[in-house]
Each structure stands twice: as C-alpha cells, then as structure tokens.
Amino acid sequence: MGYLPIFVALSGLVLLYSLYTKNQIIPKKTALILVIDQMAKLSSERKNLILTYDRANDNSVLNEVASDLMKTDRFQTFRIENELITKTNAAASNLSEEDKDLKTQILELNQKQEEQLKQLALRAGQYNRFIKKAPTKFIASLFGYKSF
C-alpha cells in the first residue's frame, strides 16, 4: 500500500478545500452582480425619464445629459457613474418649476444610484479582498473568478 492512502487523503483534502472555497466565493460574487443589476434598473429608469423629456422638449437643459446617456447602457466605472450623476443633478436643478415632478424623480433616482454605488464599492472591496488572499487566489483562478 505504501503512499497510496496518504495521496488519496491529501487529494480529498485539496478537493474539499477547493469546493469549500468556491462555495464562499459564489455568494460574494452573487451579491456584487445583484448590486450591479439594481444599478442597471435605476439607470434605465433615469435614462427613460430624461430621454422622454428630451425628445418632447427640443434644446432642453437635459440635452447634454441625454446625449451622454445614449452612449452608455450599464455600469462602466465608478468615475464615469459619478460624473453622470453630477451632470444629471446639475441639469435637473436647472429645470423649470413646471417640471418640478420630473426634477424630484431624477434627483431621487440619482440619490438611490449614489447609495448603490457605495454598496457596490463595499461589495467589490469584500469580494476583491477575499479573492486576493493566498490560498483563495489559486482556487479562484482555477474556477475562473477575477477581481472586480
């Protein structure tokens, strides 16, 4: 028999540890994807509001924001999303009193989007820290997980 039982035991240990680690990565990745999907939903709502208003009103104050929104569909980077929120807030603040409801809706959606950005930064940090730890890094690369 010799070394065969030791080899089998160690192989089983490595396999179990790999499965355990993968099962720890999956919820972290799922939480990250969930936040991104929620951000996409909010972004889509905001985009529809702004584009509908822009189509109805030529040369509106939301014209520049509408053209920026036409370029993007999903979350790209923290910096780009923050710039878009800032531009949208500035443009919405310049809306007339007639469009007070639209202004309120846009500002609320931007506030929710900012909260989601904070949540995304938190989740991405947790996920990245976990993925970059020594034994987990190897297992994550085996299963194809990459840092966000």
3-state secondary structure 67-112: HHHHHCCCCCCHHHHHHHHHHHHHHHHCCCHHHHHHHHHHHHHHHH
pLDDT attached to residue 99: 85
The residue with greater pLDDT, 99 or 116, is: 116
Say what the pTM is.
0.81
Q: Provide the percentage of residues in the chain whose pLDDT is more than 90.
A: 51
For residues 25 and 136, the answer to whether their CB atoms sit within 8 Å is yes
For residues 35 and 120, the answer to whether their CB atoms sit within 8 Å is yes
**pLDDT tens per residue across span 57-74:** 888 888 888 888 887 766
The length of the chain is 148
Q: How far is residue 119's CA from residue 78's CA, in Å, rounded to a whole number?
A: 12
75 has a pLDDT exceeding 70: no
pLDDT attached to residue 57: 85
